[in-house]
Amino acid sequence: MAEIDDTAHLETTCSGRGQCDYKTGECSCAAGYVGIACERTKCKNDCSRRGTCISMRHHADFNRNHESLQYSYHQWDADKLYGCECDLGYAGYDCSKRICPHGDDPLTLDESDDEVQLLRCTASASSNGHFVLFFDGKASSSIPASSSAITLKHALQTIPLIVDVDVSYTTGTTLCRDDGMDNIVYIKFTHNPGPLPPLVAETFDMDPDSVVEIAASTSFGMLTDYNGVNHFSVKGNKENEECSNRGICDQTTGSCDCFDTNGDQYAGNDCSEVVTSPVTTCPGDPVCSDRGICDTSTKRCICEVGYTGGDCSQRSCPRGLTWFGYPSSNDVAHDVMEECSNMGTCQRTTGECRCNDGFFGSACEYMGCSGDDASQTSCHGHGRCISLRELALNHKSSDGTSSPINYGTDANEPSTFDADRIFGCDCDDGYGGFDCELMTCPTGVDPLQIPQICMNAPTKVCAIIQPAFANVFQDGEAAMAVGAMVQRKTVAGGSH
């Protein structure tokens, strides 16, 4: 709960997500939370043994994003929100899904360009320096400055996401040059339908004035050589779709079930082969499963809202801001929309999200109160499950008076992204604990303690309240003893 404006997540027993056993000093964590203090979220099924359970901080530190850029993350949840970093070929918030082959739709003939990216290395080929190329966040093997075209090709193909590339040099047989004779390198992606993310270079042990340039985007897609000749990159325009949009992915096996409806049949591991020609209509039986419109020129289904798949036979699920994902910039995350907020699995037959333990909402967009269940019906019937924003507004000072606090005042402040997303229990009077399961006991003055209440600071006169009759109330500045036997004495004077 917030204690001052826009500041929350202070240390508390069992992190407010578990019950303390005061006999053993151990926390019993709510479903979905782990750690000796229940301080972090739990990865579902240990990432199905097909990935690594990792914190937001380490996910940022040891990886790169789709554009191969690297950011850091140090917000309050950096070591609290954990998620799955899936092995190659697996996907989903718990790595339980197999990834199916992707390919180019064989019936969209206007999109025929393969991606071509350009590279120029200005450095001494005789040095011991080298560099690494990143593609879609994954690194190649080491590339020496003196590499031939075949060596560069092989290095690029060590990146598991690259199927095959053609590499050609405009000048000579050595990758890097520093003699004023530019070598423009053409890298053509022959089996990765585009558009593709740009290659990103990182140099090692090269001279300070060495430069590795990449031209691969619409904003920087040209290199000019020493003769003034312009060389242009090519942005791929082929589709890169699951099962080439001509089949349904079986996510348990990672294989495509190619369409064979209305006399039109497709084949191949990515369903990119047309078996029967000409193709008569869109896939589906009935056409587009009666959940979409058939584009007669491309024979592609345009699905209604809530439906997906090449034949519109599958349901799509609600989308929400991601819980676990790579930062979009330093210390900024949770700003990308994904199905089930990347904290649940979409049930394709119903269009409903099956949320991870501790989360609820149609898109798993809320972290729950963790009582009997994660939904707003929890708190064991002895409180209300409300957002951090509401909890802050209900804040009370130590004497029990209302003292509202604002939390989430700036919608663009990354550190308070959770104001309306994380929920906690506001317990009824007489109940306590993180989930309002425990009954609270009455409180009073300890009869074995003799409080000394300073009544007159200049003369150092204090009241000693006899414990047998003490009944003390606070009025904000002084203490008043009611029905007590009071003896006055001068602390410094020695008289009674």
Tell me the per-residue pLDDT of 241-297, one tens digit each, with 9 for 90 and over: 999 999 999 999 999 999 999 999 999 999 999 999 899 999 999 999 999 999 999
Residue type, 185: V
pLDDT band at 457 (very low <50, low <70, confident <90, very high): very low
Q: Count other C-beta atoms under 10 Å from residue 109's C-beta.
A: 8
pLDDT at 487 over 70: no
- Mean pLDDT (the chain, rounded): 88
Rounded to whole angstroms, the maximal C-alpha distance in the chain is: 115
Which pLDDT score, from 0 to 100, does residue 377 have?
59
pLDDT at 458 over 50: no
pLDDT at 454 over 60: no
Which pLDDT score, from 0 to 100, does residue 450 have?
56
Which pLDDT score, from 0 to 100, does residue 459 have?
45
Which pLDDT score, from 0 to 100, does residue 73 have?
98
Write down the pTM of the prediction: 0.84
Give the separation between CA 443 and CA 398, rounded to whole angstroms.
13
Average pLDDT of the residues in 406-429: 93
Average pLDDT of the residues in 120-149: 93
Q: Which two tokens stand for residue 351?
A: 């269009």
The percent of the chain in helix, strand and coil, each rounded to the nearest 5, is: 10, 35, 55
Average pLDDT of the residues in 214-226: 88
pLDDT at 235 over 70: yes
Which pLDDT score, from 0 to 100, does residue 124 have?
87
pLDDT at 314 over 70: yes
DSSP 335-383: -SEEEGGGSEEEETTTTEEEEPTTEESTTS-EE---SSSSSTT-GGGSE
Average pLDDT of the residues in 458-474: 42
Q: Which of 4, 21, 33, 5 is nearest to 369 (CA)?
A: 33
pLDDT at 468 over 60: no
CA distance to 12, 79, 188, 325, 392, per residue, from 408 (Å): 21, 21, 48, 21, 10
Give the separation between CA 402 and CA 242, rounded to whole angstroms.
55
Which pLDDT score, from 0 to 100, does residue 449 have?
66
Q: Which of 180, 84, 178, 165 is nearest to 118 (CA)?
A: 165
Contact residues for 408 (Cβ-Cβ < 8 A; gap 6+)? 6, 388, 389, 416, 418, 419, 420
Which pLDDT score, from 0 to 100, does residue 187 have?
98
